Amino acid sequence: MVKAVRIQHTGGPEVMEYVDVPIGEPGPGEVRVRHHACGLNYIDVYFRTGLYAQPLPAGLGMEAAGVVEAVGSGVGHLRVGDRVAYAGRPVGAYAEARIMPADNIVRLPDSISFDTAAAMMLQGLTVQYLFHRTFPLRGGETILFHAAAGGVGLIACQWARAIGVTMIGTVGSDAKAELAKAHGCAHVINYNTENFVQRVREITGGKGVPVVYDSIGRDTFTGSLDCLSPMGMMVSFGSASGPVPAFSLNELASRGSLFITRPSLMNYTAKREDLEQMAAQLFAMVESGKVKIDIRQRYPLSEVQQAHRDLEARKTTGSTLLIP
Burial (CB < 10 A; 0-12, 13-18, 19+), residue 27, is exposed
- Specify the pLDDT at position 240: 83
- Please report, in tens digits, the pLDDT of each residue of the chain (324 residues total): 999 999 999 999 999 999 999 999 999 999 999 999 999 998 999 999 998 999 999 999 999 999 999 999 999 999 999 999 999 889 999 999 999 999 999 999 999 999 999 999 999 999 999 999 999 999 999 999 999 999 899 999 999 999 999 999 999 999 999 999 999 999 999 999 999 999 999 999 999 999 999 999 999 999 999 999 999 999 999 888 888 999 999 999 999 999 999 999 999 999 999 999 999 999 999 999 999 998 989 999 999 999 999 999 989 888 899 999
* pLDDT reported for residue 279: 97
Name 66's Cβ contacts closer than 8 Å, sequence gap at least 6: 33, 34, 35, 36, 37, 83, 84, 85, 97, 114
Query: What is d(CA 218, CA 304) in angstroms, rounded to the nearest whole number?
Result: 26
Q: Residue 212: what pLDDT?
A: 98
Q: What is the DSSP string of 167-213?
A: EEEEESSHHHHHHHHHTT-SEEEETTTS-HHHHHHHHTTT--EEEEE
Domains, the chain, ordered by start: 2-121+266-323 (3.90.180.10), 139-262 (3.40.50.720)
Distance CA 193, CA 243 (A): 24
What is residue 239's predicted lDDT score, i.e. its pLDDT? 85
Find, among 262, 255, 194, 192, the residue nearest to 234 by Cα.
Answer: 262
Residue spans of alpha helices (H) in the chain: 42-49, 114-129, 151-162, 174-182, 196-203, 221-226, 250-254, 265-268, 272-287, 304-312
Q: What is the pLDDT of residue 206?
A: 97
Looking at residue 243, what is its pLDDT?
87
- How many other β-carbons are positioned within 10 Å of the β-carbon of residue 265? 25
